[in-house]
């Protein structure tokens, strides 16, 4: 687009009511859901994995879920953990990683949080879950103890474990 045409288009765009600009952007752009994933540990190196009813290809993984409109990732993670397991958590970091699954229609951000290990109160969408010790997370196979776990989640755990062993700079 030549400069005069671009200037004209920009002027017209600025004069449109905000709601029309937002509506146009909503129609013209790809929409994705935003989710949050929690690497939840117990302070002793054990990490919480859940068996999700609605993840047929990789049922085991880190807890999380989709954010509600206007909800911050930390808030969404706290809410999801409470709904899925009855656990209360202390979020320790900001976003440590992001999964862009555009084909799946979502973007997920990962956070690290700590929970006191106690009996889980599982929601109907969770089949089982528990905190896994470090040696269980390093066993050969598709996931901890041979579980069919989501690869990105296993990679997050691996990176976190390496960071935990590295001296602080």
Q: Are residues 48 and 117 in the same domain?
A: yes
Q: Are residues 12 and 92 in the same domain?
A: no
Residues 70 and 141 in one domain: yes
| Residue 164 CB burial class (10 angstroms; 0-12, 13-18, ≥19) | exposed
pLDDT over 90 at 141, yes or no = no
Contact 144, 132 (CB under 8 A): yes
Quick one: average pLDDT of 7-14?
85
Percent of the chain with pLDDT over 70: 92
The whole-angstrom separation of Cα 103 and Cα 123 is 28
Query: Structural domain of residue 143, as residue ranges?
Result: 33-165
Same domain as 116, residue 83: yes
For residue 91, give the CATH number of its domain: 3.90.79.10
What is the band of 55 on the pLDDT scale with cuts at 50, 70, 90? confident
The whole-angstrom separation of Cα 67 and Cα 71 is 6
Q: Are residues 1 and 13 in the same domain?
A: yes
The tally of domains found in the chain comes to 2
Q: What is the pLDDT of residues 66-106, one digit of tens each?
A: 999 999 999 999 999 999 999 999 999 889 999 998 888 89
Query: Are both 43 and 107 inside the same structural domain?
Result: yes
- What is the reported pLDDT for 164? 82
**pTM confidence score:** 0.80
Indicate if the pLDDT at residue 145 is higher than 80: no
């Amino acid at each position: 687009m030549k400069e005069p045409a671009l200037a004209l288009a920009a002027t017209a765009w600025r004069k449109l009511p905000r709601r029309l600009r937002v509506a146009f952007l909503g129609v013209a752009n790809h929409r994705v859901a935003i989710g949050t994933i929690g690497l939840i540990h117990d302070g002793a190196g054990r990490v919480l994995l859940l068996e999700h009813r609605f993840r047929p290809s990789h049922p085991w993984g880190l807890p999380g879920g989709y954010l509600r409109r206007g909800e911050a990732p930390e808030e969404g993670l706290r809410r999801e953990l409470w709904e899925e397991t009855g656990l209360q958590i202390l979020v320790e970091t900001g976003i440590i990683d992001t999964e862009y699954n555009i084909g799946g229609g979502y973007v997920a951000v990962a956070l690290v949080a700590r929970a006191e290990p106690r009996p889980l109160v599982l929601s109907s969408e969770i089949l089982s879950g528990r905190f896994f010790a470090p040696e269980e997370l390093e066993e050969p196979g598709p996931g901890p103890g041979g579980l069919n776990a989501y690869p990105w989640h296993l990679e997050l755990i691996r990176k976190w474990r390496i960071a935990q062993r590295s001296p602080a700079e």
